[in-house]
Amino acid sequence: MSEMKDMALLGQYSGKGSEEAFAEIVRRHIDLVYSVALRYAGRAEDAQDIAQTVFTLLCRKAGKLREGTVLTGWLYETTRYTALRFMRNNIRRQLRERQAQAVGGDSESVWRHLAPLLEEGMTRLSEGDRTLLALRYFENKSGAETATALGIEEWAARKRIERAVEKLRLFFARRRVSVSAGALTAAISAHSVQAAPVALAGTVAAAAVANGVAGSGSVATVVTGALKLMTWTNTKTGIGGLIVAASLTVPFVIQHQAQAKMRELDQSARRRAEELSRLQEDNDRLSDSAANRSFASNQRQDLENLRIEAAALREETNEIARLGAEKRRLEAKIRHDQPKTVVEEKEDAMAKMSYSRSWVIAFHEYAEQNGGRFPAKFEDAAAFLSGDATNAAALATEQFEIVFHGMLSSLKAPQDVIALREKEAWEVTTSDNPNVKWAKAYCFADGHAEVHMERENNFDVFERKHSPDENGDTQTR
């Protein structure tokens, strides 16, 4: 059984219920999953819980993975999503002084500088690049084995790996950790995957099968949350998203027209995004070929035509953005006209808090590289926004405004100072409390977010209390 490929083993489990096959998959990949989880969580106990959840997810989705899936890449991505969800309410992002000098010394010394930043750096890469690096350096596959797993030529895999390593090296350089590509890959190969506790593989396999059949408790909660996060992230690849169904209280004709318009916008945006993605893949493929052998004149012309066509499609991104804004406007109109359930209102509030918190975390990173000052515009901090900042509610910066853009060191109590707020309050429709009728989302300078509620649509008193005076104090102190 050890010679069988991953997907064949998974097919035995999904088709015949072979727990032995599933246990073999866990044995092969437990070290990778555990190590990625440990870098996110920082605690062995949390990493074990995350690993348990990841294999429970695999158990549930065993029969649904498409043919040709590279299980190493799938497990790596799923571990990331699960760890993000697991740590969502326990974010302890530590802003640290990073060394300005180049990192040198042996592999272990280099690794001490890389480890705290590695998963953030991997987040900035594409899924394809992450799968390449996970196969080549996390699981230490040879170049030929990596190419075979992905179904591409070895030379093409080598070129793509070189580009992915260079992107990762530049990420570390921007964080003032200067390291050569050779030292970077050597350190990752030697230290990125740690042996999981001896008994963990057996425990995980048995519990995953049990939870996959009928999950309950905290593991089931995280599984559900991770599935939702994975679904939300995959949905972001197109301009479209989930179309909110209009309530029966909305006149049928208006509802039908709005939904038809939204579907049209979705389809148009998806077609253009797919075409751009296809052309980009063709462009990369031809570029790789050009780097390894000379092209005939007609092939070079094909490459040039593809580049021209790709450039034209990029120019249409402004149109796609406009379509997206129009879609959000129509969705907002439908949402405004229909009553929401308690769950829907809570999900909207959570999405707004998560979105604003992602931006304030980016503000902190911007401040770290700009003398401690918060940005005055979203564009200033956009480069620091995490690639995994989940936004399932199609929120946009136009719905928020930056309140504090001064020196962070001037604040005596950053947890009391509003850094970012929602521009317009929304009416709460599901509360029986007469003192809760309107709500707005806020994120404070220390990075925590909350939704504040008032009886009337007037938040002036609350906002004054959480604005700093010239001495950095607030009225709450």
Convert the pLDDT of each residue in 29-82 to its tens digit: 999 999 999 988 888 888 998 999 999 999 888 888 888 889 999 999 999 988
Are residues 346 and 420 located together in one domain of the fold? Answer: yes
CB 404 within 8 A of CB 445: yes
CB 415 within 8 A of CB 444: yes
What integer is the mean pLDDT of 254-261?
Answer: 54
State yes or no: pLDDT of 148 exceeds 80.
yes
276 falls within a domain:
yes
pLDDT digits (tens, 9 = 90+) for 179-191: 888 888 888 888 8
Confidence (pLDDT) at 93: 40
Structure-derived torsion over alpha carbons of residues 316, 320, 323, 324, reported in degrees to the nearest 10 = -160
- With tokens 């390593």, the residue in question is 165
What integer is the mean pLDDT of 119-138?
Answer: 88
> In whole angstroms, what is the distance from residue 80 CA to residue 387 CA?
12
> In whole angstroms, what is the distance from residue 324 CA to residue 242 CA?
13
Are residues 177 and 259 located together in one domain of the fold? Answer: no
219 falls within a domain:
no
Confidence (pLDDT) at 334: 57
Q: By three-state DSSP, how is residue 420 classified?
A: strand
- Residue ending a domain, among 285, 302, 336, is 336
247 falls within a domain:
no
178 falls within a domain:
yes
The fraction of the chain above a pLDDT of 70, given in percent, is 63
- Residue ending a domain, among 315, 336, 357, is 336
Are residues 194 and 280 located together in one domain of the fold? Answer: no
Are residues 420 and 309 located together in one domain of the fold? Answer: no
Q: Which of 9-18, 23-32, 182-191 has the lowest mean pLDDT?
A: 182-191
477 falls within a domain:
no
The fraction of the chain above a pLDDT of 90, given in percent, is 18
Are residues 430 and 406 located together in one domain of the fold? Answer: yes
Structure-derived torsion over alpha carbons of residues 337, 338, 342, 345, reported in degrees to the nearest 10 = -40
Are residues 134 and 265 located together in one domain of the fold? Answer: no
Q: pLDDT grade, residue 275 (50/70/90)?
A: low
> Number of structural domains, the chain?
3
> In whole angstroms, what is the distance from residue 30 CA to residue 261 CA?
47
171 falls within a domain:
yes
Confidence (pLDDT) at 461: 93
- Going by C-beta distance under 8 Å and a sequence separation of 6 or more, which residues neighbour residue 257? none
Are residues 180 and 275 located together in one domain of the fold? Answer: no
Are residues 259 and 158 located together in one domain of the fold? Answer: no
What tokens were used for 331?
Answer: 């969705």
What integer is the mean pLDDT of 147-156?
Answer: 88
Q: pLDDT grade, residue 404 (50/70/90)?
A: very high
Confidence (pLDDT) at 97: 38
Tell me how far the alpha carbon of residue 252 is from its chain's centroid.
Answer: 37
- Residue ending a domain, among 336, 368, 389, is 336
Confidence (pLDDT) at 95: 41
Q: By three-state DSSP, how is residue 174 classified?
A: helix
> In whole angstroms, what is the distance from residue 244 CA to residue 333 CA?
10
Mean pLDDT, the chain, as a whole number?
76
Are residues 269 and 355 located together in one domain of the fold? Answer: no
Higher pLDDT, 305 or 450: 450
State yes or no: pLDDT of 136 exceeds 70.
yes
273 falls within a domain:
yes
> In whole angstroms, what is the distance from residue 439 CA to residue 428 CA?
7
Are residues 326 and 346 located together in one domain of the fold? Answer: no
Provide the domain limits for residue 269. Answer: 252-336
Are residues 320 and 400 located together in one domain of the fold? Answer: no
> In whole angstroms, what is the distance from residue 269 CA to residue 240 CA?
7
What tokens were used for 244?
Answer: 């909110």
> In whole angstroms, what is the distance from residue 365 CA to residue 352 CA?
20
- Going by C-beta distance under 8 Å and a sequence separation of 6 or more, which residues neighbour residue 263? 243
Higher pLDDT, 171 or 330: 171
State yes or no: pLDDT of 425 exceeds 70.
yes
Tell me how far the alpha carbon of residue 116 is from its chain's centroid.
Answer: 18
CB 114 within 8 A of CB 168: no
226 falls within a domain:
no
At position 126, the amino acid (one-letter code) is S
pLDDT digits (tens, 9 = 90+) for 376-400: 999 998 888 875 454 545 678 889 9
Confidence (pLDDT) at 225: 63
Are residues 289 and 402 located together in one domain of the fold? Answer: no
State yes or no: pLDDT of 96 exceeds 50.
no
State yes or no: pLDDT of 237 exceeds 60.
no
pLDDT digits (tens, 9 = 90+) for 308-358: 766 666 666 666 666 666 666 666 555 555 566 767 777 788 888 888 888
State yes or no: pLDDT of 219 exceeds 80.
no
CB neighbourhood size of 267 (10 A): 12
